[in-house]
A and B are shown apart, each in its own frame.
Chain A
Amino acid sequence: MSLEYYRNLITSRFRDVNKVLMICSGKGGVGKTFVSTCLSQALRDRGLSVGLLDLDIHGFTTHRLLGLRNPPKILEEEHPVMVKGLFYLSPVVLVEERALPLRGLYKEKAVIDLLACVKWPRLDYLVIDMPPGFGDEVTIPMRYLRHKSCAVIVATRDALSLSVVSRLIEVLRSEKLRVAGVIFNFSNIFKLDLSLDVDVVGEIPLIECVERALSEGDSPYERCIEVREVFSKLAERIIHRAEC
């Protein structure tokens, strides 16, 4: 179908969403999904109506970071599922833990269909856990949702991550996507002081409890008070900056 057809469909699906927060990273393994899920929970705990969409088609793990041991298996009547006070959609709801070996056109179409398949209710924020990099999975949501979106970049202060982040910022700017700022993860380990052309929203140290929570199938946000404290502050700053 045409670009216009999908634009109409996706626009109607996101009509009641006030703001989309696209959580992006240039590289994998920097903690993007950790930030997406904890930020969603922190926004929810401020009394806001929040959705979480996992678009990391090959590496979807938001359900694990939410501590969902048995994720819902079916979408009912084109609505996202409700888990832990969040409106939620992830490939895990559609295919469980099966691998999704998608390539090229099929990957592009999967992202479009994930954007188009449910009607999001009235939300203050929809947090999208984007895949790493800036391929189709990243440019497609920008194409359809840029008018109500802000990017939040997750990075680590090391030379490799920062060089890729610079390129990501270049792409986000050329696509006219507003950038709320960058969150530096593992800030007590990676400390390279290189300036980026975006504001720093906050820093997250390596919190010991996180790994333990994950290995036992729990949500780090629910289990670790340090995580909740860090994300409570980050949520406040994001709310302020996302209104840019």
Chain B
Amino acid sequence: MHEWSIADSIVATLLQLVERGGISQPIKRVVIQVGKLVQIEKDILLFALRELSKNTPLERTEFVLKEEDTVFRCNNCGYTWSWDDVVKELEREIQDKDLRKAYLESMHMVPSMIYAFNKCPRCGSTDFEIIKGFDLSIEKIETQ
């Protein structure tokens, strides 16, 4: 549940852009893209962004979150799979709900930890790429 920290850093970074003259016009809309792997609580992040923007030049900025599926590709056999497959596999492999929740929380906090819990469903290799939906990024900043 580090949505507030993420929101705080997004707001701080945007305000720095404004203060340093990187953006001269008021910011109308910010589109944030987030991979499913990050398991963001969207409502909390949006609420935090709005709260932290109050009484700043971002007060009227609209924040939009776009969730993107996380897709993996095996470097060994070329197979591709998605975040939902990872979750299903975890449910199958780990019966203890609390432990499963702890592992998902680990990936929420440090998404790269997926490498400890994931492998190619076809050949079993851990040599895979995350071809999309790895991180959280600011996709677009629209000014007025």
Determine whether A101 belongs to the interface, using a CB cutoff of 8 Å to chain B. Answer: yes
Report the separation of the CA atoms of residues A7 and B121 in the bound assembly, to the nearest whole angstrom: 36
Give B38 Cβ to nearest chain A Cβ, in Å: 10
Chain B interface, number of residues (Cβ within 8 angstroms) = 31
Q: Fill in one digit per residue for B69-104: 1 if any A CB lies within 8 Å of its CB, else 0.
A: 000000000000000000000000000000100110
Q: Contact: A73 with B16, CB < 8 Å?
A: no
Q: Which stretch (B23-31, B40-48, B109-117) binds chain A?
A: B109-117
B117-143 CB contacts (< 8 Å) to partner A: 117, 126-127, 130, 134-138
Determine whether A223 belongs to the interface, using a CB cutoff of 8 Å to chain B. Answer: no
Q: Contact: A102 with B138, CB < 8 Å?
A: no
Give B41 Cβ to nearest chain A Cβ, in Å: 14
Chain A residues with a Cβ under 8 A of chain B? 1-2, 4-6, 8-9, 12-13, 73-75, 77-78, 91, 94-95, 98-103, 106-107, 109-110, 113-114, 116-117, 119
Report the separation of the CA atoms of residues A13 and B4 in the bound assembly, to the nearest whole angstrom: 12
Give A88 Cβ to nearest chain B Cβ, in Å: 15
CB contacts (< 8 Å) of A77 on chain B: these are 1
Report the separation of the CA atoms of residues A232 and B126 in the bound assembly, to the nearest whole angstrom: 43
Q: Contact: B102 with A78, CB < 8 Å?
A: no
Q: Considering residues B99, B102, B136, B138, which has the most beta carbons from chain A within 10 angstroms of its beta carbon?
A: B102
Report the separation of the CA atoms of residues A73 and B103 in the bound assembly, to the nearest whole angstrom: 9
Q: Contact: A94 with B109, CB < 8 Å?
A: yes
Q: Considering residues B105, B106, B135, which has the most beta carbons from chain A within 10 angstroms of its beta carbon?
A: B106
The interface residues of chain B, by DSSP majority, are classed as: helix
Report the separation of the CA atoms of residues A77 and B137 in the bound assembly, to the nearest whole angstrom: 23
Q: Contact: A4 with B109, CB < 8 Å?
A: no
Contacts A101-B126, A117-B110 known; A73 to B102 CB distance under 8 Å? yes
Give B8 Cβ to nearest chain A Cβ, in Å: 7
Q: Contact: B112 with A95, CB < 8 Å?
A: no
Report the separation of the CA atoms of residues A95 and B105 in the bound assembly, to the nearest whole angstrom: 10
CB contacts (< 8 Å) of B16 on chain A: these are 4, 8
Report the separation of the CA atoms of residues A135 and B113 in the bound assembly, to the nearest whole angstrom: 19
CB contacts (< 8 Å) of A6 on chain B: these are 9
Report the separation of the CA atoms of residues A38 and B1 in the bound assembly, to the nearest whole angstrom: 32
Report the separation of the CA atoms of residues A100 and B119 in the bound assembly, to the nearest whole angstrom: 11
Question: Which of B2, B103, B115 lies in contact with A102, CB distance below 8 A?
Answer: B115
Q: Contact: A74 with B102, CB < 8 Å?
A: yes
Q: Contact: A12 with B112, CB < 8 Å?
A: no
Q: Contact: B112 with A110, CB < 8 Å?
A: yes
Question: Which of B110, B111, B117, B138 lies in contact with A98, CB distance below 8 A?
Answer: B117
Give B49 Cβ to nearest chain A Cβ, in Å: 13
Q: Contact: B110 with A113, CB < 8 Å?
A: yes
CB contacts (< 8 Å) of B105 on chain A: these are 74-75
Q: Fill in one digit per residue for B7-18: 1 if any A CB lies within 8 Å of its CB, else 0.
A: 011101100100
Determine whether B6 belongs to the interface, using a CB cutoff of 8 Å to chain A. Answer: yes
